[in-house]
Amino acid sequence: MAVSLTPSQKRYLRGLAHPLKPVVLMGAKGLTDAVLAEIDLALEHHELVKVKVSADDREAREATIAEIARRTSSALVQRVGHTATLYRRSSESPEITLPR
């Protein structure tokens, strides 16, 4: 189930994500089950994470980011270059309160 965000919610999350550093760096092996598990764990713990995707081809990078969002049931907040910001509300202890 993909999360959908309103423009104001995306703007709010972009502001929160600005000082963050990427927590997951995808290497040459691409999107593996281990990388997805790490992203999933980071989303559960932090709710808002940056992922750096090291694909040279723009279309491949966009497809990989879309696949990550789909397989982790997260929302793509923004994409800047090789870095994608993802959001998913924590099921255990949600900390980020989204505006309406």
Task: List pLDDT tens digits, range 14-36.
Answer: 999 999 999 999 887 888 999 99
How many Å apart are CA 4 and CA 74, to the nearest integer? 9
Query: Region 83-98: what's the mean pLDDT?
Result: 92
Q: Which domains does the chain have, with CATH numbers?
A: 7-87 (3.30.110.60)
pLDDT over threshold 90, residue 91:
no
Spell out the alpha helix ranges (H) of 1-100.
7-17, 33-46, 58-71
**Helix, strand, or coil (residue 59):** helix
pTM: 0.92
CB burial of residue 95 (10 Å; 0-12, 13-18, 19+): exposed
Banded model confidence at residue 76, pLDDT cuts 50, 70, 90: very high
